[in-house]
Structure 1
Amino acid sequence: MTLATRLLLTFALLLCSACITARADVSNAPGANLEISLITYGPGDIYWERFGHDAIELRDTVSGEEVDFNYGVFSFEEKNFFLNFARGRMHYLIDAEVTTDEEAFYKQAGRSVTQQRLALTPDQAAALRDFLLWNLRPENATYNYDYYVDNCTTRVRDALDRALGGIIKARLTTLPGGMTYRQQTVRLMSAQPWLMLILDLGLGPYADHPLNAWQESFLPAELQKNLHNITVPDGHGGTQPLIQSENLLSPNRLDAPPATPPDLRIPLAIAGLLIAALLVLAWYRAPLFYALLGDLFLLLAGVCGLLMLALWTLTAHHSAWANANLLLFNPLAFVLLRPLWRAHRRIALSRFAHGVLLLQLSALLIALALHLLPGVVQQNQPWILFALPCWLALARTLRKSPST
């Protein structure tokens, strides 16, 4: 089934949700007959599947009917979808499907499927069911998606926490997380290196704050793992694990993401030194190649700077705000395109271009100083290691006298 077909079926289901829930046994079964499970799906191959997915399964133990509720539906056909995406105003929907149909899609794609049966009381199970059905109504189904704080997993996490009276949040906020938003993003996107680098370059200091286990449960795999730390009353004055059983329904058949994020410092430092060495060597041996390579670097630096500036000032992507990489790559680079091209013919810099170059070098020094200061949050050392040798090589060659 194609993605487009799947999305059309999803919207049809939403339009008919009132009818579906009216007929579904889980919609009116007593809470004592409801079995609640968290279903976790492993990462997929497509970039938007790399973070994984999950759903809440409601099962009527009498009729055997099983329905999955998930918050991960979106449509490329939505009006102004790409404009809204660029502005950070993405609209997602809750969906409900028969469990066997939902799980079959992920099994066929080779993604792992894990079921965790949860220990909810009859009243909690009924309250969760009622909330999910309320949320499924067309007027309540849409929400504004945020990668890190309001996504398909945080919605599942919050729905479970709501049914349990806040037990999950109270416990997980006391436990430290294992990684930052940046580290998790780089780790999970490492199968698409160019996209991983673009995301890492575009993330600001927000992505580097330490997380607790509640915050890190924005990822399905982390929520699956962190629920093992939750205990609930057993009804007899004691406590019991929230997870009553855990079953791997389908193993992963795809390349699994690494357990830790790749260290970008060495490869980016090597790339920066290589470009710097080529620029200096080409200045002496191949002036035209020097001009082409130098202008390509400046063009990319300017474009990246414009995009980062736009993300900060024009969008709701708060994870990209106040990005210190703007000191390394910014629109000042465009001013130096023509002077660098003229430099391969040994034409000296104008006073204005010389001033722009000094301003850029000052910005580079500020970025380096900020990174070395204690208490600085943003971890952009890989990009400093890349940009520093490139800018120094350009400065050395551009400031040479025409007679040299």
Structure 2
Amino acid sequence: MKLASRLLLTFALILCSAFLTTARADVTNAPGANLEVSLITYGPGDIYWERFGHDAIEVRDTVSGEEVNFNYGVFNFDEKNFFLNFARGRMHYLIDAEVTSDEENFYKEAGRSITKQRLALTPDQAAALRDFLLWNLRPENAGYNYDYYIDNCTTRVRDALDRALGGVIKARLTTLPGGMTFRQQTIRLMSAQPWLMLILDLGLGPYADQPLNAWQESFLPEELQKSLRNVTISDGHGGSQPLVQSEDLLAPQRLEVPPATPPDLRIPLGIAGLLIAGLLVLTWRRASLIYALLGNLFLLLAGTAGLLMLILWTLTEHHSAWANANLLLFNPLAFVLLRPLWRAHRGITLSRFANGALLLQLIALLVALLLHLLPGVVQQNQPWILFALPSWLALAWTLRRARHA
């Protein structure tokens, strides 16, 4: 990702080259027969926003040797209200263009892999793609509203290639099944940062668990790279040929490679839930102050998580977080029980209001469990059910015992 301040300068340099160079054409004005188009795929980086990888379209003038990379992954931290827009799901991204060697050197130094797939576009298709990318690079056309799964820096590259090829890529990939869901791909790629992985998994709603085809799953650079190997196009003589004419690894991945499959969170979160439940019961019997501190910590985290999930659903455009069934497990109702639990460790019985809040939470747990067991339910939140169920039951049991003490 590069800062958007380079955008106007890059565009100006590309346009100026057409006027400054009279002896030869360049990428901006070369005939289509001289243009070579490639998909460049970069491996994942260390920073959380780099974990999904990146890609670009390279346009090369075979006569002059000039190579320019076009990518859609530019954002600007200095943009007005950047973090507010990010929180509300209104992220603004831009297209950028840079000399290929400069771009490749950046990723090589970062230890990220670079793969080049040369694509079999006709001269007319290559020229049309080049013209579209230059048009898209104009300041008035450069920005777009970013979405993690359906409109990101890779889907923009995919759509530009598909547009130039007359819809061939989409027609083929929509017939092929995807390998994973949005959720599975997300936790797989974020597994190197466990806490962030868990937060994302908790915050994703049923949208992230819908079955995907290969077109939808190509929101990831790695998946788009693999999917293009399955696309064939006309060879102009009544036959067909592979879209990918050649594929070369220009630089190896020196950073840690993400696992091929997502981690199974059911066992660790289930064990964590049982451990919390055991500690609550044990400390309630033998160390009531620790019991109150541990219980209030759980309630505080549960209430905060629920409040954030509720905000994501009702006040933001993060549609992948809407209608999250985890709100039945963790919700602001937990805040109501903070004071009653603290009083309970001294043997003070629950008020009618607190007892009603506890009953509502237990009903919500039951609804979450039944929803998960019903056929046709999309959201896969088994790990969080396994975590929440023993924890809440232990809290309810200890609070009820305090009520009758």
TM surpasses 0.5: yes
What is residue 148 of structure 2 aligned with on the other side?
Answer: 147
**2:288 matched to 1:297?**
no
Unmatched tracts of structure 2, length 5 or more: none
User: How is 1:5-404 mapped onto 2 (pairs within 5 angstroms)?
Assistant: 7-10=4-7, 12-14=9-11, 18-19=15-16, 25-401=26-402, 404=405
Read off the aligned partner of 2:264 and give its amino acid letter. D
Deviation at 1:137, TM superposition (A): 0.2
- Unmatched tracts of structure 1, length 5 or more: none
Q: Structure 1 residues 182 and 398, CA, compared in 2 at 3 Å: closer, same or farther?
A: same
What is the alpha-carbon distance in structure 2 between the residues aligned to residue 88 and residue 56 of structure 1?
26
Cα-to-partner distance string for 1:38-77 (whole Å, 9 max, x where unaligned):
0000000000000000000000000000000000000111
Q: For the residues of structure 2 that align with 1:114 and 1:237, how far apart are their CA atoms?
A: 31
In structure 2, the CA distance between the partners of 1:403 and 1:121, relative to structure 1 (3 Å rule), is closer
Shift of 1:345: 0.3
Q: 1:309 to 1:17 in 2, by over 3 A?
A: farther
**Tell me, what secondary structure is at the counterpart of 2:229?**
helix
Identity of aligned pairs, percent? 82
Shift of 1:16: 5.6
Q: Is the Cα–Cα contact under 8 Å of residues 17 and 136 in structure 1 kept in the other structure?
A: no
User: 2-side partners of 1:105 and 1:378: how far apart?
Assistant: 39
* Secondary structure of the structure 2 residue equivalent to 1:58: strand
Q: Secondary structure of 1:399's partner? A: helix
Please tell me whether the aligned partners of residues 171 and 230 of structure 1 are also in contact (alpha carbons under 8 angstroms): yes
Residue identity in the other structure for 1:48 = W
Deviation at 1:20, TM superposition (A): 5.4
- The aligned amino acid for 1:234 is D
The answer to whether the 8 Å contact 2:350/2:403 transfers is no
Deviation at 1:367, TM superposition (A): 0.2
Structure 1 vs Structure 2 CA RMSD: 1.4
Structure 2 length normalisation: TM-score? 0.97
Q: Which amino acid aligns with 2:164?
A: A
The structural deviation recorded for 1:22 is: 5.7
The answer to whether the 8 Å contact 2:345/2:402 transfers is no
- Per the TM alignment, residue 82 of structure 1 is displaced from its structure 2 partner at its CA by 0.2
CA distance in 2, matches of 1:253, 1:16: 33
Distance in 2 (CA, whole Å) between partners of 1:190 and 1:266 is 15
Partner of 1:229, secondary structure, is: coil
Judge conservation of contact 2:349–2:404 (CA < 8 Å) in 1.
Answer: no
CA distance in 1, matches of 2:293, 2:256: 38
**Letter of the structure 2 residue corresponding to residue 338 of structure 1:** R
User: How many Å apart are 1:13 and its aligned residue?
Assistant: 2.5
